[in-house]
Amino acid sequence: MTAETHWTLTLVCEDRPGIVHAISGAVVDAGGNITESAQFSSHDTGTFFMRLQVVSEADRGAFEAALAPVVARYGMTWKLDVVGRPLRTLVLASKAAHCVNDLLFRQRAGQLPVEIPLILANHPDLEGLAEFYGVPFEHRAVVGADLKAAFERRILEVVEQEDIELVVLARYMQILSPELCAALGGRAINIHHSFLPGFKGANPYRQAHARGVKLIGATAHFVTSDLDEGPIIEQNVVRVDHTRSANDLVAIGQDEESRTLTQAVRWFAEDRVLLDGARTIVFR
Amino acid sequence: MTAETHWTLTLVCEDRPGIVHAISGAVVDAGGNITESAQFSSHDTGTFFMRLQVVSEADRGAFEAALAPVVARYGMTWKLDVVGRPLRTLVLASKAAHCVNDLLFRQRAGQLPVEIPLILANHPDLEGLAEFYGVPFEHRAVVGADLKAAFERRILEVVEQEDIELVVLARYMQILSPELCAALGGRAINIHHSFLPGFKGANPYRQAHARGVKLIGATAHFVTSDLDEGPIIEQNVVRVDHTRSANDLVAIGQDEESRTLTQAVRWFAEDRVLLDGARTIVFR
Amino acid sequence: MTAETHWTLTLVCEDRPGIVHAISGAVVDAGGNITESAQFSSHDTGTFFMRLQVVSEADRGAFEAALAPVVARYGMTWKLDVVGRPLRTLVLASKAAHCVNDLLFRQRAGQLPVEIPLILANHPDLEGLAEFYGVPFEHRAVVGADLKAAFERRILEVVEQEDIELVVLARYMQILSPELCAALGGRAINIHHSFLPGFKGANPYRQAHARGVKLIGATAHFVTSDLDEGPIIEQNVVRVDHTRSANDLVAIGQDEESRTLTQAVRWFAEDRVLLDGARTIVFR
Amino acid sequence: MTAETHWTLTLVCEDRPGIVHAISGAVVDAGGNITESAQFSSHDTGTFFMRLQVVSEADRGAFEAALAPVVARYGMTWKLDVVGRPLRTLVLASKAAHCVNDLLFRQRAGQLPVEIPLILANHPDLEGLAEFYGVPFEHRAVVGADLKAAFERRILEVVEQEDIELVVLARYMQILSPELCAALGGRAINIHHSFLPGFKGANPYRQAHARGVKLIGATAHFVTSDLDEGPIIEQNVVRVDHTRSANDLVAIGQDEESRTLTQAVRWFAEDRVLLDGARTIVFR
């Protein structure tokens, strides 16, 4: 007698008629019941996206066997996962605590299905925070090209040794090499501040203050070699006014960064974020 | 040679395994392709809710024939409609213009799929507005029980003669009789102001001002005989502060009422609002 | 026996000690009582900004006489106005109705202290709307440089003949000449869409859709010859997701444009917007 | 040679003409320059409220001497404080970590001008969190009337011994006695969840779920003996939908509770919150 498992199933393929019927047939064959379903047909790329939650007594082997003919027929990219399984997550950090603190607090509070085998940082400042939350912390200086390359090799080493599924740049203030961006494609999330209008160059908060913007915010996006231009996962803004100093804007912006990054990580860990070319499909 | 039609299909039934497979099979039989899909299984009531958009060359008869065995087997309540078809809508009004103006402006701008054969009002104030938008306007005084009963009979008469599918109380300031509420069950939407905390009794804006609330808002809900307690469709709030007079709060509240009511009507007209006991399922 | 007047007084000068005492002394001399007060010292420009509301039995002459020595001593730029006096406002329009409709509806509802002697448009589409609200409407085609120059001359002519204090570009889709921008400096407000990140070039909504932005919004700003880069008065955003088409984004963006422009006009008409270099001080 | 001090001055008195002039004269006498100013005249209670920030070389004695004749003449309640001075704050807690974590994190990040000599809790659960942030923690069980009375005596003892200026009920799940509420009047802040509409009785999140509310939020207010009905300081809400379980609503509500309580404490610590009968004036 088998206990029930709560599965997440995500599917991406070329959009054609009959997909839902074929997939729901495979679910029936696996003795499953669909408890949550979301789908989207992208007109831009002609791609079909689906995310299901299924309760079933089938084990992984039986479920995959039922799915096999369908995913083959439609040429699907697919992932079968267990709801709530903690995602293996590597956190990259520098000096700023706000994003790391929010991730760790919510992870411990049971609000973020990740497990963090390591925080890898190019500054030692967050060691005490990591220790409090019982998360291993490793500090490696990044000064000069050699140390930078060594740091990046260490990232890839951890990703492999620790079966890392997601790399989170929690205000990690180094630009990743194009090679590393490619190696982590679709599984690395970054956070940056956002303004209306956008500002180029150094010290954007100072520029935002000088222009008297009334909204500041943050954008969480996938890492690509095109700096700060990867597919957007989540964005938030808050209202500010003329009484705010440039330093105030920094503090306010940090709050937005924290909550925006945590939200993006949560959705990714729940298999709710899929890539559609330069866009994301987020099945909230 | 038949042109394609874009259909909306909503389904409600007892939750059981295999529903999605059965329905998607009927869609395949009707030569349809699912372009949008949302579903929800209510743990509270054990009910399954689904909304599909389907592109198909089948005409209504063929589509319904394909669906017939499935809806029979599962005992489904269902509705098959054409995407974008204007919903036959009766607007009830009193003196206040803000909600009626918003509905008419958006209807004309093509942002609200309704057609309004009549505005029925117990005051003459909005006749000019109706005239500008080319909508028939009928004024009947409601003074005393006889005229009130006559007004309610007129509502039901219009509903029948004009094939009304939705009655919108756009700040119609009369309480409907329990009989009329029952007759319009699930197809009449009202709007009222909302506060944190709630206030009972007369002049709630004055009470809200006296208590120094920091948020005021509006709730759109289905009409039931339990005044202002019908299933909630949509809610919005905005921030206010101590500098606002009670009159300011009224003006701010009216903006929230307008946009909240229009949003609720839009979702209903797009078959996105389904009833789950005392709650609504809104497939946004 | 004189009735009381409710005055608005705005003051701008170099920041120095004693200003508030000097001004409040002048108010006392004019028999006035301060009912609302806001001030701000800009560290960026060393400028002091103040806005007062004062109830007084003094007439304009007596009030100005009381103020005269103070404004002279501090070299103040100042404006004395009556609370609620409708601002003489010229509306420029093209084809889009949403911003004009919102301005006219709120003006008539008593929520916007402006009077609009003319809507000047380079397309005839909004004539019916203007007529409904009883506002004069003038259509002049702008095709080619000569007609464009004639339109701009007409703007300046109306500004002079009608004592216009504010020019509102309510989705007026022509670029103003640098000369006209200079002539209207600090008294012309424009509205444009805003995105995170910003997009350059044609069809920004299509670009925003392609990038999968999660927030779209609008910015109201003073007109300068630097297109869309004038001092920001107000900004708003709303959340969107992957299901929205580029056309949906346009409709959603229009709502933000309407409410953002109307808010900016309201604050300007209430003398709440002051210029601090490239920024605005908004005494909300 | 004296260094400059940045002062906060708050004043409350019966509303009469000439107050601003008198106060700004005292500021001039103290060699001060006003850098921030906010005022409000309450029509409801005929009370005048003012908050100033003043830069001056005067020491406290000299500043108070300059103010003395003015505050005497107008019968003012007043407070002179130094900008940024950490407010002596006692935190009361039970089991829930979210509010306490947010307060401690922001305090350490320099975003909250408080110092916390003690967290007093009726459960031991948060000891580790307190230890991490280096804040003394004291656990006293509250079971039965005697222990409850002892806990309340301990609160008052700490308030006196530690010069406590603010008591924060950070999800402290005990009802305070009327005597304690009176003793802490105007210097104790509580947080509770808020709904549209409000719900009475046990398990409001379950009721909110059953009614299908679309917004849930939190209210921070002063403690009075009228449970959850003290003057409101701050409120926030977020959007939820039918897919959220009652447990989800709890987690979402906790986020709102944290940020709302922290915001209220920040404003209080910055002397921005003044009482106007049953309302608060918040000079944001």
pLDDT average, residue stretch A182-205: 86
Which residue in the list B15, B228, B255, B276 is annotated as catalytic? B228
Return the pLDDT at C63. 97
- For residue B276, give how far its alpha carbon lies from the nearest alpha carbon of chain A (Å): 16
- A279 with C242: CB under 8 angstroms? yes
Question: What are the structure tokens assigned to C65, written together?
Answer: 């006489």
For chain C (284 residues), the mean pLDDT of every run of 10, in chain order, is: 86 94 95 91 92 95 97 97 97 97 93 97 97 96 95 98 98 95 96 79 84 92 85 94 90 93 98 94 93
- Cross-strand pairs, B154: none
Name the burial class of residue A228, with classes exposed (0-12), middle (13-18) and buried (19+) by CB atoms within 10 angstroms of its CB.
middle
- Token representation of residue D269: 């610590």
Tell me whether B190 touches chain D (CB under 8 Å): no
Tell me if C37 and D39 make a contact (CB, 8 A cut-off). yes
Q: What is the pLDDT of residue C242?
A: 93
Instruction: Establish if A36 touches chain D: CB-CB under 8 angstroms.
Output: yes
Contact A282/C at CB under 8 A:
yes
Tell me which residue in C36, C97, C105 faces B109 most closely, judged by beta carbons. Answer: C97
Residue among B214, B242, B279 minimizing CB distance to D212: B279
Instruction: Answer whether residue A3 shows pLDDT above 60.
Output: yes
Identify the pLDDT of residue C1.
Answer: 44
Q: Which residues of C40-58 are buried (b: 16+ CB within 10 A; e: fewer)?
A: bbbeeeebbbbbbbbbbeb
Spans of chain D, pLDDT less than 50: 1
Return the higher-pLDDT residue of B204 and B26: B26
Annotated catalytic, B248? no
Q: What percent of chain B has pLDDT over 90?
A: 83
List CB contacts (< 8 A) between A20 and chain B.
20, 24, 27, 34, 37
- Report the catalytic residues of A: 228
Rounded CA-CA distance C283/C270 in Å is: 10
- Mean per-residue pLDDT over chain B, rounded: 93
Query: Residues spanned by CATH 3.40.50.170 within chain A?
Result: 87-282
C-chain residues near D19 (CB < 8 A) = 34
Homologous superfamily in CATH for domain C87-282: Formyl transferase, N-terminal domain (3.40.50.170)
User: Domain D5-82: which CATH class?
Assistant: alpha beta
- Structure confidence at residue B228 (pLDDT): 65
Residue C205: predicted pLDDT: 86
Tell me the residue type at C123.
H
3-state helix, strand, coil split of chain A in percent (to 5) is 35, 30, 35
CB burial string B197-233: b at 16+ within 10 A, e below: bbbeeeebbebbbebbbbbbbbbbbbbbeeebebbbb
pLDDT at B1 over 60: no
Across the interface, whether the CB atoms of A242 and C211 are under 8 A apart is answered no
Give the span between the Cα atoms of B25 and B282, in whole angstroms. Answer: 25
Contacts of C57 (CB under 8 A, 6+ apart): C2, C3, C4, C5, C31
Strand-pair partners of A222: A189
CA distance D61 to chain B (A): 33
- Rg (C-alpha) for chain D, rounded Å, is 21
- Interface predicted TM-score (ipTM): 0.90
Residue A229: band (very low, low, confident or very high) from pLDDT cuts 50, 70, 90: confident
Average pLDDT over residues B48-77: 96
Interface residue C111 vs chain B (CB under 8 A): yes
**pLDDT for the residue A1:** 44
Which token pair is C179?
């000369």
Q: What pLDDT, in 10s, does the model give residues B186-230?
A: 999 999 988 877 766 778 888 889 889 999 999 999 999 876 679
* pLDDT on residue C5: 95
How far, in Å, CA of A91 to CA of A98, rounded?
13
Residues of chain C with CATH 3.30.70.260: 5-82
The pLDDT value given to residue C2: 59
The answer to whether B260 contacts chain D (CB < 8 Å) is no
User: Which residues on adjacent β-strands are paired with residue B9?
Assistant: B52, B80
Dihedral angle at the C-alpha atoms of C219, C222, C228, C230, nearest 10 degrees? -110
Residues of chain C positioned with their CB less than 8 A from the CB of A243: 40
Local confidence band at A225 (pLDDT 50, 70, 90 cut-offs): confident
pLDDT: which is higher, A44 or C241: C241
